[in-house]
Amino acid sequence: MAAKKDYYAVLGVKRDASEKDIRAAYRRLARQYHPDVSPNDKTAEERFKEISEAYEVVSDKEKREKYNRYGHDWQHAEQAEAARAQAGFGGSGPFRYSYSTSGNPNGEDPFGGGGDFSDIFGGMFGGAGRGGRGQYQTIPGQDVEHPMTVSLEEAYAGTTRLLSMPGVDGGPRRIEVKIPAGVRDGSRVRVASEGAPSPFGGPKGDLYLVVSVSHNKTFEREGDDLHVKTPVPLHVAALGGEVEVPTPKGTKLALRLPAETQNGRKFRLKGQGMPHLGGDGRGDLFAEVQVVLPTQLNDEERQLFQRLAELREQAGVTR
């Protein structure tokens, strides 16, 4: 088996890279090598798996600290230390490790009072440790991350997707996942017990969907607020009147403008923005006025504008 590459090198970031830089590097590489982009490219598929594995570790604060300390053996090293702690060497661990001294008439420490990692691993993975017998109980499978791109409309209303994931036997398995309303770029949606199986009979890990929201040509998102440019005819801006404002759910809202509304003015439509993820209420929708000048003027219209210009000049008004 080929040696694993350094996770930071896989993502193309420095060892002291910030979470933001790591996330940006992962998104860029995931989009480039995702199997959906190159469905028949085995090299790209393997590269994507490598990228996902690296990101799964270095994007998690605790896992990253352990990886920085132990390298690619970070999981086993941590388990070994926890096993020693549970066996009476102090400390605490995230899993239980039990042993019996029935095979040791003197009731001696099955690790020999100072066993090294090889002794502990022997007990953890089915062997015995110097006269005792070990039983591994609760190591879960690894969590798995999967990139997911949704439209702004899907992020607004929530949606479901059918994913094809590798099964225990290596064949594909299909699962339906729900994307809650209000997700943002970088949201991580947890799907419990749909991650990697445990090699020791423990519970499966979790699946995390790393969400990207695609660009929308109509709406610009800032947090849970939305901004939309709203065309307004010149005469409506000048005299006042009603215009329609689009919403992400496909409907339109009526907005009443006062007379002499200036170009670029923003109007707040409270509670018409994105849903708050995991909570109640919504952000706001801001409609920005874009005054549209008339075209293809006829003679009468030109005369009216000329008369308006003359009146404004006589009044000394320059705007």
Residues 198-241 have pLDDT tens digits of 766 778 889 999 999 999 999 999 999 999 999 999 999 999 99
215 class by beta-carbon count within 10 Å (0-12 exposed, 13-18 middle, 19+ buried): exposed
User: Which one, of 285, 318, 266, lies nearest residue 219 by Cα?
Assistant: 285
Determine which of 5-19, 136-150, 176-190 has the lowest per-residue pLDDT on average.
136-150
> Mind listing the domains of the chain with CATH numbers?
68-136 (no CATH), 140-214 (2.60.260.20), 219-314 (2.60.260.20)
Q: Confidence class of residue 153 from pLDDT cuts 50, 70 and 90?
A: very high
Residue 89 pLDDT level (bands cut at 50, 70, 90): very low
Instruction: State what percent of residues in the chain have pLDDT above 70.
Output: 76
Q: Which of 2-11, 135-144, 172-181 has the lowest mean pLDDT?
A: 135-144
Burial class (CB in 10 A: 0-12, 13-18, 19+), 257: buried
- Helix (H) or strand (E) run with residue 122 in it: helix 117-124
More confident residue, 158 or 111: 158
> What does pLDDT average to over the chain?
79
Full-model pTM: 0.57
HSE, side-chain direction, 13 A CA sphere, residue 277: 16
64 or 89, higher pLDDT: 64
Q: SS3 of 307, please?
A: helix
Cβ-contact 205, 213 below 8 angstroms: no
Q: Cα–Cα distance between 318 and 236 in angstroms, integer?
A: 21
* Residue showing tokens 């969590």: 143
Residue listed under structure tokens 């982009």:
37
Residue at token pair 């699962």? 175
18-53 burial by CB neighbour count: b if 16+ within 10 A, else e?
Answer: eeeebbebbbebbeebbeeeeeeeeebeebbebbbb
